[in-house]
């Protein structure tokens, strides 16, 4: 009778079929192990190199799962820009903040243009025309903010101190705008005034974008409805600028004889230009 140690360690303990002869059991096990090894080796050798994979016929490659198609605007064959092909992929209804942001970008671009003109000492008329455009744009922009956007924000209980600061910054900017409109571009300080106005506006715009607008977006304001009102008022103000008859060219501007933009400012902002 075999002892336990012999039984546990003996090949007999590993035989499933006790009637199977040892020789056959070993042969089967050996063949199985050899098959595993050869299978692994086969796998290793069967894997093609990167180069081989790159040059492999497409049909031999494993087909990839189809990707979900990304919605993109169709482009006309002519390459012509349309609202369909230039619209962002994720469409959303434009709102009041989008309108104000467009203004900020436009006026920022104008300030950059002015900086270039001042750097190359462009003719006074050229600088004054551009400065006038900047001032007119800022007057319209500040008006729609003060008449429509800021009051709506106050009504929505957006942080009052932010809106108070914005009002003060507008007043400072408008003071400088008045000086530029009534100033003479030949004056030494004319370019400096435009530059400082640009710095004021940049500071103010950064505060609007980083502090005020995020709160407005979260504050439950009807920003889409506000946009309609602001766009209508903006068009009205711009219409007043273009409809007003020009008695004298802008170059006639001086402290004694203010230019067209100053006179328009007098009409739109009598409190600023008493």
Q: Which is nearer to Fe ion, 28 or 234 (CB)?
A: 234
Closest chain position to Fe ion (CB): 145
Q: How far apart are CA 257 and CA 248, in angstroms?
A: 9
| 199 vs 111: CA distance, rounded Å | 9
210 secondary structure, DSSP code: I
Closest CB 107 distance from Fe ion, rounded Å? 9
8, exposed or middle or buried, with CB in 10 Å at 0-12, 13-18, 19+?
Answer: exposed
Q: How far is the CB of 65 from Fe ion (least distance, A)?
A: 48
Restricting to residues 36-95, which ones interact with Fe ion according to CB under 5 A? none
Q: How far apart are CA 274 and CA 270, in angstroms?
A: 5
Least distance (Å) from Fe ion to the CB of residue 79?
Answer: 35
Cα dihedral sign for 143, 158, 203, 93?
negative
Q: Closest CB to Fe ion among 181 and 208?
A: 208
Which of 117, 162 has the CB closer to Fe ion? 162
CB of 236 to Fe ion, least distance (A): 18
Candidates 35-43, 81-89, 154-162, 203-211: pick the segment binding Fe ion (CB under 5 A). 203-211
Q: Which of residues 100-129 bind Fe ion (CB under 5 A)?
A: 100
- Give whichever of 124 and 162 is closer to Fe ion, judged by the CB atom: 162
Distance of CA 264 to the CA centre of its chain: 34
Q: How many CB atoms lie within 10 A of CB 56?
A: 11
Minimum distance, C-beta of residue 138 to Fe ion, in the bound complex (Å): 9
If the CB atoms of residues 190 and 200 are measured against Fe ion, the closer one turns out to be: 200
- Measured at the CA of 190, the angle between CA 135 and CA 261, to 5 degrees, comes to 30
User: Rounded to the nearest whole angstrom, what is the least distance from the CB of residue 230 to Fe ion in the complex?
Assistant: 11
CB nearer to Fe ion: pick between 138 and 260: 138
Handedness of CA 188, 189, 195, 198 (dihedral sign): negative
Q: Which of 95, 145, 181, 191 binds Fe ion (CB under 5 A)?
A: 145
Q: Which stretch binds Fe ion (CB under 5 A): 10-18, 24-32, 99-107, 238-246?
A: 99-107
Tokens for 175? Answer: 């003071």
Residue 181 CA to residue 272 CA, distance in Å, equals 12
Select 145 or 191, whichever has its Cβ closest to Fe ion: 145
Binding residues for Fe ion, rule: CB under 5 A, are 100, 145, 208
């Amino acid at each position: 009778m075999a002892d336990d140690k012999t039984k546990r360690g003996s090949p007999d303990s590993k035989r499933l079929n006790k009637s199977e002869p040892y020789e056959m059991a070993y042969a089967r096990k050996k063949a199985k192990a050899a098959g595993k090894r050869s299978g692994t080796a086969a796998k290793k050798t069967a894997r093609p190199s990167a180069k081989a994979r790159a040059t492999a016929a497409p049909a031999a490659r494993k087909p990839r799962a189809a990707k979900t198609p990304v919605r993109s605007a169709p482009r006309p064959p002519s390459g012509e820009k349309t609202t369909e092909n230039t619209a962002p992929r994720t469409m959303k209804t434009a709102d009041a903040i989008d309108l104000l942001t467009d203004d900020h970008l436009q006026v920022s671009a104008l300030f950059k243009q002015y900086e270039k003109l001042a750097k190359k000492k462009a003719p006074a008329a050229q600088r004054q025309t551009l400065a006038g455009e900047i001032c007119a744009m800022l007057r319209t922009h500040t008006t729609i903010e003060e008449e429509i956007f800021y009051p709506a924000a106050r009504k929505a209980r957006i942080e009052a101190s932010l809106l108070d600061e914005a009002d003060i910054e507008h007043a400072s900017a408008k003071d400088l705008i008045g000086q530029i409109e009534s100033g003479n571009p030949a004056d030494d300080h004319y370019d400096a005034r435009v530059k400082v106005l640009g710095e004021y506006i940049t500071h103010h715009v950064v505060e609007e974008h980083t502090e005020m607008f995020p709160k407005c977006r979260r504050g439950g304001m009807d920003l889409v409805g506000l946009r309609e009102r602001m766009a209508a008022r903006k068009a009205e103000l711009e219409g007043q600028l273009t409809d007003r008859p020009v008695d004298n060219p802008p170059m006639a501007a001086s402290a004694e004889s203010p230019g067209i933009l100053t006179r328009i400012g007098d009409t739109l902002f009598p409190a600023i230009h008493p």
